[in-house]
Amino acid sequence: MAKNSVVDLRSDTVTRPSPEMRRAIAEAEVGDDVLGDDPTINRLQERVAELLGKEAALFFPSGCQANQAAIILHSEPGTEAICEANAHHIDYELVGAATWSGVQLRPVPTEDGILTADHVRPYIRRTDDRFTPRTTLICAENTHNMAGGKVMPLDVLRGLRELAMEHGLPLHLDGARLWNASVATGVPLADFAAQTSTLMVTFSKGLGAPVGSALAGSVEAMERAWTIRKRLGGGMRQAGILAAGALYGLEYNLPRLAKDHARARRLTEFVNGLDGFSVVPPDTNIIMIEIERSDLSPKRAIGYLRERGVLVLATARPGQLRAVTHLDVDDAGIERACEAFEALAATPSG
């Protein structure tokens, strides 16, 4: 990292394609994917299905659209989909479930973002009550973004799956960062995926591709998802140039996620050693920093860090900052972030 370049820790979505990824993108073989003719997209979909141990996968322009397609696929208008209270579906998909599916999201509060079968059980509502909405879907998120990249352990996901099956309900997993969960735990992606009816994975976060996500599930589910994607305006033509970036990310950037996790731990340990901040050690690459000084607002902290070339975001929670490690932040960048936080901690009150 060049000495004066900005250390952008706002999100792992800020990565720019490397020269090698750009070469793969430039050289991608393409065709009209709406006609099924794009060889690079077909290769990506096969690779994702194979990695996740699912029958089929479908390329989407974004994680939000793939999640929304899954909710449409599994639910019915006028019913409820259960998810964790701070799930991406609730906070960041702009009421998509109500808009596109006519579904009410039923938020289930947890202590740490990890939605267990015990949390969900009391919220499942079935058909025999005329006055309450029926549950048609359970959603999970792994890793959990707003819980600080928290990994949902495999046995917790398995418990959710068993509960879903007991009630004849589908289980959709928002696995935008399932790559990180797998690398952090050593649990194969397919073991997580086996617990789900469908799951969404994203290429434009830790894997460093510019665009794209995939939904995976049975052949029958992906056939239906194809139509839903088209209806949502997600049918793309020579989008093999995007799939090439995703394929490159899977091959070269997936194995290196452990470095992002180690760098997140380094920054956490450093910031935890400073007065006025506390951080719960992250499982993966998302660091949630609590400001414990009443005189220091997130806005002021962000402005101060920005002046020192370090970018972080405020979250929706009062007094909380978020910093995310990714492939465009190296060890030198983390040390610059540590120095900027040290200077911030030393600022006088007021």
Strand 80-84 with 135-141, pairing: parallel
42 SS3 class: helix
Residue 118 CB, shortest distance to ligand PLP, in Å, is 23
Q: Choose one: 62-70, 121-129, 230-238, 244-252; the region binding ligand PLP (CB under 6 A).
A: 62-70
Q: Is residue 63 at the binding interface for ligand PLP, with CB under 6 A as the rule?
A: yes
What is the footprint of ligand PLP within residues 173-192 (CB under 6 A)?
174, 176
Residue 52, CA distances (Å) to 62, 207, 297 in order: 18, 16, 42
8 Å CB contact between 181 and 146? no
Residue 332 CB, shortest distance to ligand PLP, in Å, is 26
Would you state the torsion angle of the CA atoms of residues 49, 161, 73, 33, taken in this order, to the nearest 10 degrees? -10
Residue 275 CB, shortest distance to ligand PLP, in Å, is 31
Q: Which residues contact 220 (CB under 8 A, 6 or more apart)?
A: none
Q: Choose one: 19-27, 58-66, 247-255, 329-337; the region binding ligand PLP (CB under 6 A).
A: 58-66
Q: Is residue 206 at the binding interface for ligand PLP, with CB under 6 A as the rule?
A: no
Which position among 74, 88, 119, 261 is part of the footprint of ligand PLP (CB under 6 A)? Answer: 88
Q: Which is nearer to ligand PLP, 62 or 297 (CB)?
A: 62
Binding pattern to ligand PLP, positions 272-311, x when CB under 6 A? ----------------------------------------
What is the footprint of ligand PLP within residues 305-344 (CB under 6 A)?
none
Long-range contacts of 262-266 (CB under 8 A, 24+ apart): 263/325, 263/329, 263/330, 263/331, 263/334, 264/149, 264/323, 264/324, 264/325, 266/331, 266/334, 266/338
Q: Which is nearer to ligand PLP, 172 or 265 (CB)?
A: 172
Q: Is residue 62 at the binding interface for ligand PLP, with CB under 6 A as the rule?
A: yes
Closest CA to 40 of 51, 28, 27, 49: 28
Counts of helices then strands in the chain (DSSP H, E): 14, 13
Residue 207 CB, shortest distance to ligand PLP, in Å, is 12
What is the footprint of ligand PLP within residues 209-228 (CB under 6 A)?
213
One-letter amino acid at 124 equals I
What is the footprint of ligand PLP within residues 112-171 (CB under 6 A)?
141, 145
Q: What is the distance between the terminal CA atoms of the chain, rounded to a whole angstrom?
A: 34
Alpha helices in 75-213 (DSSP H): 88-91, 96, 117-120, 154-166, 178-185, 189-193
User: Which residues of the shown chain bind ligand PLP in the complex (CB under 6 A)?
Assistant: 62-64, 67, 88, 141, 145, 174, 176, 202, 204, 213
